[in-house]
């Protein structure tokens, strides 16, 4: 089995490449233009002869000589800071990038999985969000470059399935976190963790009452791999139904890091969703999937990773202890 992952040097993409190799794939090809991905994310994989890195922009086409059995389209800026900085590139990869990836899958008779997003639901008026909900998206707002790019990518995927017989499926990914997130990418977990570890004020947008449901990256990747093993079209929600407010999350991270940082409020971004929680009934029924990593455990692993990169000494207590917390000694 040979796999191709677009955006494979990104946060989720790199974990996906790693898991595909661990699952026994004969060859894993990572295609990335490094707009938001990083060679560091796949540096360890470069030593594996079954891994290949291609530096290329999928909006210009995908050229590969060997047979491909699965195509996973994960190329796209995904954080608000990134897609607001690169709105045209975000729209192009959702449109032309998706088309090229689908053409490749059809040509090779490969299973295709599109990484869509919970952002297709916009600021939802239905809670929690089932896949049957069509969403509440502002098509001309600042976030529309990402929201509409993914909505178009979903429509294109289904059109290829109906018109070209593509073995294509869609996963809608809710907020995911873990090691390899970029400190400055604007997403809530790396922002709060780095602020807490650095002893700087922890910023919460608005009054902090808006909610997110956070899924650890290992669980998310497991769901994606299960989507490869079926022929279902989806879409299928992948996320953790454990919903927390942003103020609760900030306080939790401050406790886990042992930080004394002050929590401060900053203006709420335009079109920021008030609530976000997936209905994962379909994922359970079709894939036998549900997240297994408790939020606290995932946060501890993520904090440890960021702390190690920032030369912060760690003392990690025994996980079995109900009072386990992460003690840090900041040396900056």
Give domain limits for the chain: 2-178+215-238, 188-211+242-273+293-329
In angstroms, the CA 95 to CA 103 distance is 12
pLDDT along the chain (332 residues), means of 10: 97 98 97 96 96 97 93 95 94 98 98 97 94 95 95 98 98 97 90 94 92 96 98 97 95 95 89 90 98 96 92 37 37 26
In angstroms, the CA 298 to CA 316 distance is 13
Note the Cα 204 to chain centre separation in Å: 21
Q: Please give the model's pTM, rounded to 2 decimal places.
A: 0.91
In angstroms, the CA 221 to CA 284 distance is 15
Could you please state the CATH topology (level 3) that the domain comprising 188-211+242-273+293-329 is classified under. UDP-galactose 4-epimerase; domain 1 (3.90.25)
Residue 262: CA count within 13 A, CB half-sphere? 4
How would you classify the pairing of strands 211-213 and 243-245?
A: antiparallel
Q: Give yes or no for a contact between 122 and 273, defined as CB atoms under 8 angstroms apart.
A: yes
Q: Give yes or no for a contact between 136 and 194, defined as CB atoms under 8 angstroms apart.
A: no
Active-site hit among 146, 152, 160, 216: 146
133 catalytically annotated: no
Give the pLDDT confidence score for residue 301 in this predicted structure. 97
Distances (CA, A) of 305 to 10, 69, 248, 302: 16, 33, 22, 5
In angstroms, the CA 326 to CA 315 distance is 6
Architecture of domain 2-178+215-238: 3-Layer(aba) Sandwich (3.40)
Quote the tokens at residue 124.
Answer: 């939802």
Give the pLDDT confidence score for residue 102 in this predicted structure. 98
β-bridge mates for residue 112, sequence order = 71, 168
């Amino acid at each position: 089995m040979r796999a191709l992952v677009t955006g494979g040097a990104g946060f989720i993409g790199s974990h996906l490449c790693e898991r595909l190799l661990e699952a026994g794939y004969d060859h894993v090809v990572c295609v990335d233009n490094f707009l938001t991905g990083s060679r560091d994310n796949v540096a360890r994989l470069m030593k594996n002869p079954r891994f290949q890195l291609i530096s290329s922009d999928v909006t210009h086409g995908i050229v590969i000589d060997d047979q491909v059995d699965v195509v996973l389209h994960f190329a796209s800026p995904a954080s608000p800071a990134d897609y607001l900085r690169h709105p045209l590139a975000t729209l192009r990869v959702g449109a032309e990038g998706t088309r090229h990836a689908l053409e490749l899958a059809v040509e090779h008779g490969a299973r295709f999985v599109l990484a869509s997003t919970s952002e297709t639901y916009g600021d939802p008026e239905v809670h929690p969000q089932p896949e049957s909900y069509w969403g509440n998206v502002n098509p001309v707002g600042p976030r529309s470059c990402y929201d509409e790019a993914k909505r178009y990518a979903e429509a294109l995927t289904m059109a290829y399935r109906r018109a070209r017989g593509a073995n294509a499926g869609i996963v809608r990914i809710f907020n995911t976190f873990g090691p390899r997130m970029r400190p400055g990418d604007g997403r809530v977990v790396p922002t709060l963790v780095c602020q807490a570890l650095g002893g700087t004020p922890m910023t919460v947008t608005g009054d902090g009452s808006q909610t997110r449901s956070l899924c650890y990256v290992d669980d998310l990747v497991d769901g994606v791999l299960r989507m490869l093993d079926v022929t279902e079209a989806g879409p299928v929600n992948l996320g953790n139904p454990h919903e927390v407010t942003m103020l609760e999350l900030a306080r939790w991270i401050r406790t886990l890091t042992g930080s004394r940082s002050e929590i401060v409020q900053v203006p709420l971004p335009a079109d920021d969703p008030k609530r976000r929680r997936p209905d994962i009934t379909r994922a359970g029924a079709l894939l036998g999937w549900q997240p297994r990593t408790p939020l606290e455990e995932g946060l501890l692993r993520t904090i440890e990773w960021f702390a190690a990169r920032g030369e912060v000494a760690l003392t990690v207590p025994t996980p079995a202890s109900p009072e386990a917390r992460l003690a840090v000694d900041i040396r900056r």
